[in-house]
Amino acid sequence: MNDFTAADVDGKRVLVLGGKGFLGTHLVDAFVRCDIPVRVFDRRARQSLDPALVDVVDSQNDVARTSNIEVVTGDFASGEGLADALDGVDLVYHLISTTVPSTSNANPIADVQGNLIGTLRLLEMMRDAGIRRIVYVSSGGTVYGNPSILPVPETHPLQPLCSYGVVKVAVENYLHMHAELYGLTSNVLRVANPYGTHQHHIGVQGIIPTFFKKIADGSLIEIWGDGSVVRDYIHVNDVVSALLRAGARDRSGTFNIGSGIGHSVNEILEIVQRYVGQQADVRYLPQRNFDVAQIYLDISKAQRELDWQPLLSLDAGCALYWQTIKQPARPRNAAGYMEPPQ
């Protein structure tokens, strides 16, 4: 269960699109820890490495790993640099999103231009280059819209209420089409709400790092709605183990990746207050119309077919997160990764 070694990659050359992002950094770490070389494609000036916006890197990253990482910079939306990144690759992890759910409705055309057309160009280039494997991170929290069954299975109708989710569904459909018509092996992970280090804590990506930071700093927390909104939170380590299992797979499939358990925003608040040891200063705002009330995922298909299991409960995951970010930050090398301890 969750096991992964270099043998699973079987000599395949791996490219991680968005390898300097939240999930990407952790996935690249995991490959490097298994002594698997990996190429990263990301933007030139990658904001997530700005210490003002992200947490310190956890201590597991303190391996001298840059020798096994090749970084290609470019622009996914325009395709610039992508051909170089794909050269000689066998397996592509597509973790790039140019938008986030909460703001995607403000400009759906930009969402389609950046994410959907960018992915269509990627698929065309992969097909031309004979690259036959992709793992795509879709969105367990948005593709279903307001679920009529809980926990929601993969077979639930897809009725997203934000452009971010509509575009994820369209990408999924194109991947399915390429799998059926052109022999692509495509594994789609509908990831719930992941949290962990390297996540922005400016409130767009995840509430857990945001709550830890704001409660520790004594600053105001603003919550849309009354805090009763329920989501499925999953620690990034558990997402990474699913990504590794999906990349080792020889068939195509679509999988919910979450904890399988729902927690309200107010429950998160309680857990975080307990670890930080301070009371939160909270203001409740009107609910947003695109926020679904309750969602958590039926993960039995991934457990069965990926031989995967989430290992960290919300409480254990928050404990790990808090323990990690309390450590002092280490200096970074030119590539933006941590230097090994002296």
Residue the block writes with tokens 């590794």: 244
Closest CB to a copy of itself among residues 100, 170: 170
Structure tokens at 308: 């995967």
Shortest Å, Cβ 167 to a copy of itself: 8
Shortest Å, Cβ 121 to a copy of itself: 7
* CA atoms lying within 13 Å on the CB side of residue 136: 31
Which residues are at the interface with a copy of itself (CB under 8 A)? 105, 108-109, 112-113, 116-117, 120-121, 124, 145, 155, 157-163, 165-167, 169-170, 173-174, 176-177, 180-181, 289-290
Structure tokens at 86: 């794909």
Q: Which residues pair with 70 in a beta bridge?
A: 39
Shortest Å, Cβ 84 to a copy of itself: 21
Burial 232-262 (b: 16+ CB within 10 A, else e): bbbbbbbbbbbbbbbbbbeebbbbbbbbbbb
* CA atoms lying within 13 Å on the CB side of residue 20: 22
Shortest Å, Cβ 174 to a copy of itself: 6
Closest CB to a copy of itself among residues 66, 287: 287
Could you tell me which of 198, 130, 207, 143 has the C-alpha nearest to residue 170? 143
CA 317 to chain centre: 16
Cα distance between residue 184 and residue 164, in whole Å: 24
Confirm whether 164 is a catalytic residue.
yes
Name the H helices within the chain: 6-9, 22-33, 82-86, 101-104, 108-111, 118-129, 163-182, 207-217, 236-247, 265-276, 300-305, 314-325
277 Cβ partners below 8 Å, 6+ apart?
none
Which position among 93, 144, 164, 296 bears the catalytic label? 164
Packing angle of the helix pair 207-217, 265-276 (nearest 10 deg):
40
Cα distance between residue 215 and residue 82, in whole Å: 41
Shortest Å, Cβ 124 to a copy of itself: 8
Shortest Å, Cβ 266 to a copy of itself: 25
Closest CB to a copy of itself among residues 59, 287: 287
Name the H helices within 163-264: 163-182, 207-217, 236-247
Closest CB to a copy of itself among residues 162, 208: 162
300 Cβ partners below 8 Å, 6+ apart?
153
Shortest Å, Cβ 159 to a copy of itself: 6
Cα distance between residue 190 and residue 232, in whole Å: 12
Active site residues: 164
